[in-house]
Copies of this chain bind each other. A is one copy, B any other.
């Protein structure tokens, strides 16, 4: 459940946006001037705020700067009737993440909100679609434990699954045998075992045989990498 703050003095617009967002399952808090916005949105539990630039008293730009100085993570979307380029640039430079000009289509506002939230969540690692890992044409669902490549279901054993998950959580990154041993097995010292090699081989047979692109590559003397 995402909590969105909306600072907008035009009550008609505010109401429409609130209704629309609530239909999408968002929790919306409306304020109608800059001071109130600053006061309310300082709270840490807002996932995103929408600021109108033109408001009585403190304007959106000032609110944005002030919010930014206290909370660098908060996604801020500016909303305004001003359409001139300089206004947009000023808005974005004051710390906003996006800028939308009125009149706007609700659909576009929604898409921009989603883009911002998506990014926020990817970056902070707590994406709501976190259980879906994918790379190239392979995907792994940590809930259903289903693995598919190019749409084709692949059956993996528990260890193979764990190993693939480790690779999918670290794409384009070389994983040393040591690292794999610690994270997919519970080996913290060198036991002289070759389980990892054997399992990489098992995994390759299942996810690469019959497909043209290789996924797991060997870097001799270093480890394995998914790319």
Contacts and interface: CB of A to CB of B under 8 A. Distances in A.
Interface of A: 44, 69-73, 75, 85-86, 88-89, 92-93, 95-99, 105, 107-108, 110-112, 114-116, 118-120, 122-124, 134-137, 143-145, 157-159, 161, 171-174, 219-222, 225, 227
B123 A107 contact: no
Contacts of A86: 107
Identical copies of this chain, number: 2
Nearest to A115: B92
Contacts of A115: 92, 96-98
16 contacts: A69-B134, A69-B135, A70-B172, A73-B123, A89-B110, A92-B108, A97-B115, A98-B115, A120-B123, A123-B123, A143-B173, A143-B174, A145-B174, A145-B222, A158-B220, A161-B222
Nearest to A113: B92
A221 B72 contact: no
A99 B110 CA distance: 13
A99 B159 CA distance: 42
Contacts of A171: 70-71
Given A71-B171, A98-B98, A161-B222, 6 more contacts: A44-B172, A88-B111, A89-B110, A92-B111, A143-B172, A144-B172
Nearest to A133: B72
A123 B120 CA distance: 7
A97 B137 CA distance: 22
A222 B95 CA distance: 33
A139 B213 CA distance: 26
Given A123-B119, A145-B174, A157 B221 contact: yes
A112 to B, nearest CB: 6
A118 B123 CA distance: 12
